[in-house]
A and B are shown apart, each in its own frame.
Chain A
Amino acid sequence: KAGVTQTPRYLIKTRGQQVTLSCSPISGHRSVSWYQQTPGQGLQFLFEYFSETQRNKGNFPGRFSGRQFSNSRSEMNVSTLELGDSALYLCASSLRLDSYEQYFGPGTRLTVT
């Protein structure tokens, strides 16, 4: 079974631009979560989607948004990029909303200059 895939793997953007990151979960997994990780930091929860609905949202500004499609694939969008948005963005999928085991993708490393 293929793992979680994320595209692109690396991205360089300029302040003020917007970016869209994509995540394809493991086949059959309906829950997708997004995290931001900066060097030396833990995982900061962004949001979680299940059955195309946002179920949980972390403490991030409205510039961060996401969506989930009917095939469970998910995208997250960051508008008006700031230097502080430079981070590794991780996507994780799980079978159900209450699953205790999440499977992570390799992440997208975003650099904002």
Chain B
Amino acid sequence: GQSLEQPSEVTAVEGAIVQINCTYQTSGFYGLSWYQQHDGGAPTFLSYNGLDGLEETGRFSSFLSRSDSYGYLLLQELQMKDSASYFCAVRGDSNYQLIWGAGTKLIIKP
């Protein structure tokens, strides 16, 4: 079957750097996306990786290694407002169906 794995919870300190990993097992690969969801809110798009390497958007960066079926989201200079759940998602087949990880709850301590 097709699946994505990411840690259920990560804890970090305000101002620090945290990395959220995502490994995928899909029949095909058409890109890895990351979404953020605050409690009670809707998911919002953060970043996309279609090719290997690092994509940077402000304090957030996302990395992809297609040979390892692996990606990560890097959050720098953590702020309390970054406390949220983070989901990775992969388009894994020719029908472009989006497959989602179970999400990583990021807890930030002052």
Consensus secondary structure, chain A interface: strand
A104-B43 contact given A42-B103, A43-B87, CB 8 Å threshold: yes
Q: How far is the CB of B84 from chain A (nearest CB, A)?
A: 14
Q: Is B100 an interface residue (CB 8 A)?
A: yes
Q: Nearest CB to that of A98 among chain B residues?
A: B96
Residues of chain A lying within 8 A (CB to CB) of residue B7: none
Q: Is the beta-carbon distance between B45 and A103 smaller than 8 angstroms?
A: yes
Q: Is the beta-carbon distance between A98 and B91 smaller than 8 angstroms?
A: yes
Q: How far is the CB of A96 from chain B (nearest CB, A)?
A: 9
Q: Is the beta-carbon distance between B96 and A45 smaller than 8 angstroms?
A: no
Interface residue range, chain A = 20 to 34
Q: Is A90 an interface residue (CB 8 A)?
A: yes
Consensus secondary structure, chain B interface: loop
Residues of chain A lying within 8 A (CB to CB) of residue B101: 42
Q: How far is the CB of B28 from chain A (nearest CB, A)?
A: 12
Residues of chain A lying within 8 A (CB to CB) of residue B72: none
As a 0/1 sequence over residues 24 to 66 of chain A, the CB contacts with chain B under 8 angstroms (1 = contact) are 0000000001010000011111001000000110000000000
Q: Say which residue of B30, B41, B48, B102 sits within 8 Å of A42 (CB atoms).
A: B102
Distance, CA A98 to CA B98, complexed state (A)? 9
Q: How far is the CB of B55 from chain A (nearest CB, A)?
A: 12
Q: Which of A85-113 contact B (CB under 8 A)?
A: 90, 92, 97-98, 100-107
Distance, CA A55 to CA B43, complexed state (A)? 22
Residues of chain B lying within 8 A (CB to CB) of residue A41: 102-103
Q: Which residues of A contact B (CB under 8 A)?
A: 33, 35, 41-45, 48, 55-56, 90, 92, 97-98, 100-107
- A to B CB contacts below 8 Å, 12 in the list: A35-B100, A42-B101, A42-B102, A44-B100, A45-B99, A90-B43, A98-B91, A98-B96, A101-B33, A102-B43, A102-B98, A106-B42
